[in-house]
Structure 1
């Protein structure tokens, strides 16, 4: 691919001027103008040939981390080629660029580091955040994914090693919804880490200090939010990712009415889980208002899902109290008794002597169990069998990531219920063949079904504050896109191979909703929203390398007409 060192003029900065990354697809004229004629083999390749080489190399690799490193290298050298291959094989490659392999990559971040991606803002940068944003080469940023690295997937505190999450998340913004990559900015806020292993690792790349939990931390986040809006505008979408539970909830409450922001761990997870329940109700034959849900875990994911389920139930006609009474939570201390302000709505009188999660299942008799504890295989064989005894079509969602943190496997869920359960997981599991020859394909409750489409709608509509009702609308839209045939195959979500179309359709539906509810600020309102959305999505075809204008000394670019 293109190497800046081959050019006689200043090189593009990271993530900047991606029209240059054509590799051997540069034409002879382009090579002559750029001064790289002779520095590449004489063949002018098509993108098809480049993609074939890329795919062939990937097929030779068996180690997921090796694939991740190779993929990220291609992204650095040739972004359009990277996204073309990712989109064409999204089912195989999404688990590499995101969950679960990205978790492994985060734990090894300092050991596999090649080139910085995104912005690193530390607690020592207070008072200078705006100047750091000014160092980012792109001025037209539309979406930011930010983490402080405290709760990376189910892996805990990884400090600046958490940068892999915003980078991976934004890959999906582009691959799944066509949001232009140069408009995406990954950010990690480094306030230290409480991970003793990292604090003693000579290759760790962040501050060697315990997490700062003082007012200085809040001041830094405030300064960051203000600087983003000042530089990029008040409709810039800021997604909070993998913050600790306490900070995740309070920042959502603090900023949601002031900025265009959401927390994917709370709201995105809630939306995709609700979509799975809405799809499952078609198979079960009973409305969501008749379900009883028992959560394993009571953190941000559980509370986000529970609150959105309540919203869906109340929209269907039941009172809020009645809806909340249908939802129970079990954490490491047992059924909720000690509560915080976030959990209070889902605490009930004790139903009896409950000493284990299995006791809770047998006592509460839920129609659905949802695992978001991140503690491994706690949906035991006895728990799964009990759900199968209590329900003709038990709903079992093992949503914790990465794969080894899932509450059970798809194989256990299906085989222990004779294929009757409706199963979804956070990490991918392969198809399961039952003893009677049936093959069931488990659904993956991946947030990638939600956040790219929602973000695309928010960006093109100029939304400034994202209501929970937007995520309710997204969940309903996702469930509607599941066909009866796919449901019969065991799926609760459309195939990942169709996720670009799923995201575009979701963006259209959400766009219709926000304009109807007066949440949009971009006018005039497009009459043909479907055509408008489809016209905005980024494609992976090469443009000419010549931009309209560049001001580089000694290089005379004549204006060219670009294809988009």
Structure 2
């Protein structure tokens, strides 16, 4: 039964606000509750643009959009889809970083599920409180490693909320099928523990067997309640992220975007860069600044992509090197974690990143350190001296954590760098040329992966699906875009790009026998037909 009157106006799924037709208002008990004029959806979108236009602060824009999502879901998604290149940085990186840091201070309407470790043993009953019963995608975090900002506790909820919005905006995953979740296992951030407005558990983070049992209970409960659901792990600390993925990747439909999505978007950027340099992937050597799960995830996917081009896995891994706070990762070091060992090579210890570049002679450097300005002038100039077209990828988020800016990379390389970053940068004018920096944003990967999984009801997410995704992203970049330095498709056309990538991934899912539905005659058409459109539902 359709709600009426004020109840209808407070239902974000069915509320049309000022767009309720005049002829329907009496039947729905809305007469007198709305201004007498009736808007079209296009007029409402224009009004939101106007409201945003008078705000100078991006966090205020984030809050306006969050309030809109809480009261009129259709208008929210229609607005974001009207100009995705403008709105994605507002609802996700970089603005979401500041929003998460201040989440307990700016909270309006709660969204998603908060599952505290104090409810261990009762998680299934808490999850069952969620009103939607056909959830297909969960983005879950424990808030320990939010972007490059560290332990934000339950304030990290902004990440699952923002990420799932992009599932819908970019690839058309229906919002009713998505569920953001934060697992509250405490926080070691004393600032939040001392803050009277902090909304999470006021206790140190749980570790060890109790933490693992909590994760197991969560996964089991999700499988029982939402058997067709895919779980995306987000912003877990390395020492949890890697083992969680290893434990569940062959058991359930799941992936870790920080590890696998980041790897795929980096590989897509490399494929794009090689279209500029006219070189082969198997002739490349990469040096990573940062040795965490993002670095090893990218290095492993590059290695597997090299294997597909004809070399052995050990030779491929030998072309990927890691450099962290303790220097070059070499076999003689005693602090190497198990997941880093494939990329710790036999070499003299080096404490200088520039010295590592001089000796290893990488064709590309990839920054996943979350420490700003480490790609300094000496680093870029050294890369430019040993490479005609050096690949420079400072991928750390948000912008304040980027290893260098686009202007620095282009200027210090005399315009020869092939550049992409994790956060957006404005075009750079150097001499008589204008360079358009690419943004290696996971948004090119995870929404498409989500739509592919939805369309196929895939039972698993596999590594080769991410290689296919990377290839599909790279093939969308035009020659004119490559000539301007752009190695990723323009974000204003992210919807078409995502649906293309989703179709390519879905083909691989069907080819590998991982689909739980019959293969359609036209996979791309099926995905297009399933994609959510922001159209007001009938009431």
Asked whether the two chains share a fold, i.e. TM above 0.5, the reply is: yes
Q: Does 1:516 align with 2:515?
A: no
3-state DSSP class of the match of 2:338?
Answer: coil
Q: Is the 8 A contact 1:462 1:522 kept in 2?
A: yes
Q: Is the 8 A contact 2:4 2:29 kept in 1?
A: no
1:347-362 to structure 2, matched below 5 A, reads: 347-351=344-348, 354-362=350-358
Q: Which residue of 2 aligns with 1:554?
A: none
Q: Is the 8 A contact 1:123 1:216 kept in 2?
A: no
The CA deviation at 1:286 is: 1.0
Q: Which residue of 2 aligns with 1:116?
A: 110
Cα distance in 2 for partners of 1:135, 1:32 equals 33
The CA deviation at 1:11 is: 5.9
Q: Does 1:289 align with 2:282?
A: yes
Q: Which residue of 1 aligns with 2:500?
A: 505
Cα distance in 2 for partners of 1:102, 1:61 equals 17
Cα distance in 2 for partners of 1:5, 1:295 equals 57
Cα distance in 2 for partners of 1:110, 1:355 equals 40
Q: Is the 8 A contact 1:8 1:35 kept in 2?
A: no
Q: Can you give the 5+ residue segments of structure 2 that lack an aligned partner in the other structure?
A: none
3-state DSSP class of the match of 2:140?
Answer: strand
Q: Does 1:80 align with 2:80?
A: no
Return the match for 1:28 from 22, 26, 43.
Answer: 22
Q: Which residue of 2 aligns with 1:389?
A: 385
The CA deviation at 1:543 is: 2.4
Q: Show CA shifts across 1:443-471 (max 9, x none).
A: 00000000000111011101111111110
Q: Does 1:339 align with 2:365?
A: no
1:31-70 to structure 2, matched below 5 A, reads: 31-70=25-64
Q: Does 1:379 align with 2:375?
A: yes
Q: Which residue of 2 aligns with 1:188?
A: 182
Cα distance in 2 for partners of 1:441, 1:418 equals 15
The CA deviation at 1:29 is: 3.4
Cα distance in 2 for partners of 1:385, 1:528 equals 49
3-state DSSP class of the match of 2:26?
Answer: helix
1:107-506 to structure 2, matched below 5 A, reads: 107-233=101-227, 235-336=228-329, 337=333, 338-351=335-348, 354-435=350-431, 437-506=432-501
Q: Is the 8 A contact 2:9 2:17 kept in 1?
A: no
Q: Can you give the 5+ residue segments of structure 1 that lack an aligned partner in the other structure?
A: 547-564
Q: Is the 8 A contact 1:174 1:180 kept in 2?
A: yes
Cα distance in 2 for partners of 1:344, 1:39 equals 65
TM-score (norm 2): 0.97
Q: Show CA shifts across 1:266-298 (max 9, x none).
A: 000000000000111111111010011000001
Return the match for 1:106 from 96, 100, 104.
Answer: 100
The CA deviation at 1:7 is: 2.4
Q: Which residue of 2 aligns with 1:559?
A: none
The CA deviation at 1:87 is: 1.3
Q: Is the 8 A contact 1:7 1:34 kept in 2?
A: no
The CA deviation at 1:9 is: 7.9
Cα distance in 2 for partners of 1:434, 1:321 equals 41
3-state DSSP class of the match of 1:527?
Answer: coil
Root-mean-square deviation (CA), in Å? 1.4
Cα distance in 2 for partners of 1:432, 1:21 equals 43
Cα distance in 2 for partners of 1:33, 1:287 equals 66
